[in-house]
């Protein structure tokens, strides 16, 4: 079992490597400032990645804001007054436990280091530690086998008892080696490291001028709650939605774009009466699951974690994590949290400004409760790519088997909706007609004109970036094989690779129906 687990871990790593490589090769994602060696935890989206991300954000905005009467948008600044982060508790408590390895100078998050006693033949032989990963059990086993071999120790290895370093006693910690060192005792005591990036507003770098890059978009919504309430003719239950960048000075950015230092969030704070909180929490979970299906992430690849009370924020009465089966493990895409009236109460206390709502019907005054569906843009983009990625063996024009790489994006998410190809690039009539078709379509969708190489190769290039349809203009289109096929084109579908003959006049309708 351990061998098969290990080989499946290996397959997952290979898959992830292929995805990362495709992202770079086709311009979805580049390392930020790559020519200068990059900046750990920061990524740039290339031409196709930028389109994919924009499609996701636009669709979220459409479904969550414009399609609803009860949600309005906002777009707040990344830099807020420091008091916001004092009131929200971020300045005091938004931190991770940091440990250093004195031997190798590596830095770890203590809760991402796991340790186990190495018990061989019933005797204790110290501890081993590894960093959290889907393959960490196997890695720990290997380390213990190494101890066994090196020491020539006989006997069975006892079942592992992996626990996070944060649970180790001081005595244990002295005996636990760092994950990348051999001698025990090289790890420092965990210390709390605040994850907010600090900066100074104005010319003087003193305490008075400190502020932070926002670590989440939510607080800008809470502090503008009253302004929105008073200017937008909304009343509870209603939501304020926002998409924007947030920053966390992660100790260990990892898993490609999944855990990065700069990222984007799509959040709604939904304000309601206290008694409706639990019901709305469940409703929002359903709404959000439906959204993921609409963008092409099937329900059976999503896990819903009903976060147990002791792992929830202390003020939350209920939280669901919506997780996706990434190649590197099941990981959170979105949190749907019932935050009670915690945030507004804190801001009312700290600002001295009333943040209550007066209900004209019941004559009650109350601080609204909040349900928050908070999704990661970059994580969802990555999930879209992982979900779409496929390789299959197909037989090419010459009867040879080859591997077809295809991104099976839901058409509404695809960066390019339609490729437009003249059969040959040296026939001006074909080129002119193809350009005409391109101009007709591009007002309504993102199209890509390509005249280079055999049509089969052009299909493959579009398959690899997930373009759902390709249109070829050939001699039939020009009417050279009779009136029946004149002004028709071949439409080739990405997934089934089927081809249909469609009249140009019907083409826009045909495509619009399938991409929106």
Residues 167 to 196 in contact with its own copies, rule: CB under 8 A: 193
HSE at residue 352, side-chain half, CA atoms within 13 A, is 0
Q: Report the nearest approach of its own copies to the CB of residue 316 (Å).
A: 23
Give kind and range of the element (H or E) at residue 393. Answer: strand 389-395
Binding residue count for its own copies, defined by CB under 8 A: 85
Which residues lie across from 163 on neighbouring strands?
A: 115
The residue (of 140 and 406) whose beta carbon lies closer to its own copies is 406
Site string for its own copies, 234-253 (x = CB under 8 A): ------x-x--x-x-x-x--
24 binds its own copies (CB under 8 A): yes
Q: Provide the 3-class DSSP secondary structure of residue 36.
A: helix
Contact range with its own copies by CB under 8 A, out of 39-47, 270-278, 323-331, 362-370: 39-47
Sign of CA dihedral 115, 118, 124, 126: negative
Q: Are 376 and 288 in contact (CB under 8 A)?
A: no
Place of tokens 């943040």: 355
What's the CA angle centered on 435, arms 472 and 468, to 5 degrees?
45
Q: Are 513 and 469 in contact (CB under 8 A)?
A: no
Residue from 49, 296, 419, 466 binding its own copies (CB under 8 A): 49
Binders of its own copies among residues 374 to 433 (CB under 8 A) are none
Contact range with its own copies by CB under 8 A, out of 149-157, 364-372, 393-401, 441-449: 441-449
Residue from 15, 16, 78, 153 binding its own copies (CB under 8 A): 78
Binders of its own copies among residues 259 to 318 (CB under 8 A) are 261-262
Binders of its own copies among residues 355 to 374 (CB under 8 A) are 355
345 binds its own copies (CB under 8 A): no
Structure tokens at 303: 């896990």
91 binds its own copies (CB under 8 A): no
Structure tokens at 136: 């960490």
30 binds its own copies (CB under 8 A): yes
Q: Report the nearest approach of its own copies to the CB of residue 306 (Å).
A: 33
What's the CA angle centered on 215, arms 212 and 221, to 5 degrees?
100
Contact range with its own copies by CB under 8 A, out of 40-48, 153-161, 164-172, 421-429: 40-48
Contact range with its own copies by CB under 8 A, out of 81-89, 138-146, 327-335, 389-397: 81-89
Q: Report the nearest approach of its own copies to the CB of residue 379 (Å).
A: 15
The residue (of 198 and 501) whose beta carbon lies closer to its own copies is 198
74 binds its own copies (CB under 8 A): yes
Q: Are 65 and 141 in contact (CB under 8 A)?
A: no
E strand map for 213-301:
238-247, 262-272
436 binds its own copies (CB under 8 A): no
Return left, alpha or beta for 241; rule: phi > 0 is left, psi -120 to 50 is alpha, else beta: beta
457 binds its own copies (CB under 8 A): no
Instruction: Give dist(CA 487, CA 508) in Å, integer.
Output: 13
83 binds its own copies (CB under 8 A): yes
Binders of its own copies among residues 105 to 144 (CB under 8 A) are 107
The residue (of 136 and 447) whose beta carbon lies closer to its own copies is 447
Q: Are 279 and 252 in contact (CB under 8 A)?
A: no
Give kind and range of the element (H or E) at residue 417. Answer: none
Q: Report the nearest approach of its own copies to the CB of residue 77 (Å).
A: 4
Closest CA to 468 of 427, 506, 404, 419: 419
Helices 2-25 and 377-388: crossing angle in degrees, nearest 10, is: 110
Residue from 1, 2, 3, 67 binding its own copies (CB under 8 A): 67
Q: Report the nearest approach of its own copies to the CB of residue 184 (Å).
A: 23
Q: Report the nearest approach of its own copies to the CB of residue 47 (Å).
A: 4
Which residues lie across from 421 on neighbouring strands?
A: 472
Helices 428-442 and 504-515: crossing angle in degrees, nearest 10, is: 40
92 binds its own copies (CB under 8 A): no
Count of Cβ atoms closer than 10 Å to residue 14 Cβ: 11
Contact range with its own copies by CB under 8 A, out of 232-240, 274-282, 356-364, 501-509: 232-240
Binders of its own copies among residues 203 to 222 (CB under 8 A) are 203, 211, 213, 220
Q: Are 245 and 75 in contact (CB under 8 A)?
A: no
Q: Report the nearest approach of its own copies to the CB of residue 199 (Å).
A: 5
5 binds its own copies (CB under 8 A): no
Closest CA to 425 of 417, 415, 435: 435
């Amino acid at each position: 079992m351990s061998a098969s687990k290990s080989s499946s871990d290996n397959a997952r790593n290979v898959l992830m490597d292929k995805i990362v490589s495709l992202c770079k090769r086709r311009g979805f994602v580049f390392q930020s400032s790559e020519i200068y060696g990059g900046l750990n935890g920061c990524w740039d989206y290339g031409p196709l990645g930028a389109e994919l991300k924009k499609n996701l954000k636009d669709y979220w905005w459409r479904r969550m804001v414009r399609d609803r009467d009860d949600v309005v948008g906002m777009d707040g600044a990344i830099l807020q007054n420091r008091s916001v982060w004092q009131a929200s508790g971020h300045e005091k408590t938004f931190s991770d436990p940091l440990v250093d390895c004195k031997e190798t100078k590596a830095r770890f998050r203590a809760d991402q280091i796991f340790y186990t006693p190495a018990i061989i033949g019933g005797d204790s032989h110290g501890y081993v530690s590894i960093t959290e990963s889907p393959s960490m059990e196997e890695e720990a086993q290997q380390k213990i086998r190494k101890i066994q071999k090196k020491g020539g120790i006989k006997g069975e290895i006892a079942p592992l008892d992996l626990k996070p370093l944060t649970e180790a006693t001081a005595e244990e910690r002295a005996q636990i080696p760092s994950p990348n060192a051999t001698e025990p005792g090289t790890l420092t005591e965990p210390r709390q490291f605040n994850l907010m990036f600090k900066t100074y507003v104005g010319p003087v770098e003193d305490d008075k001028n400190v502020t932070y890059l926002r670590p989440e978009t939510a607080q800008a919504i809470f502090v503008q709650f009253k302004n929105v309430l008073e200017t937008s003719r909304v009343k509870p239950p209603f939501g304020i939605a926002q998409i924007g960048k947030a920053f966390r000075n992660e100790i260990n950015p990892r898993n490609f774009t999944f855990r990065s230092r700069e990222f984007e969030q799509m959040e709604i704070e939904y304000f309601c009466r206290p008694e409706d909180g639990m019901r709305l929490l469940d409703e929002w979970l359903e709404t959000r699951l439906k959204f993921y299906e609409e963008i092409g992430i099937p329900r059976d690849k999503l896990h819903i974690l009903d976060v147990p009370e002791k792992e929830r924020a202390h003020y939350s009465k209920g939280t669901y994590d919506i997780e996706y089966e990434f190649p590197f493990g099941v990981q959170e895409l979105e949190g749907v949290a019932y935050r009670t009236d915690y945030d507004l109460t804190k801001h009312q206390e700290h600002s001295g400004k009333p943040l209550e709502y007066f209900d004209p019907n019941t004559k009650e005054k109350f601080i609204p409760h909040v349900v928050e569906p908070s999704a990661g843009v970059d994580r969802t983009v990555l999930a879209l790519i992982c979900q779409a990625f496929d390789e299959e063996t197909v037989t090419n024009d010459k009867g040879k088997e080859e591997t077809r790489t295809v991104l099976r994006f839901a058409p509404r998410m695809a960066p390019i909706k339609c490729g437009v190809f003249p059969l040959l690039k040296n026939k001006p009539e074909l080129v002119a007609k193809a350009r005409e078709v391109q101009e007709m379509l591009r007002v309504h969708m993102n199209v890509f004109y390509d005249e280079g190489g055999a049509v089969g190769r052009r299909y493959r290039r579009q398959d690899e970036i997930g373009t759902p349809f390709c249109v070829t203009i050939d001699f039939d289109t020009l009417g050279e094989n009779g009136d029946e096929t004149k002004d028709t084109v071949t439409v080739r579908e990405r997934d089934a690779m089927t081809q249909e003959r469609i009249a140009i006049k019907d083409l826009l309708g045909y495509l619009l129906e399938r991409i929106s």
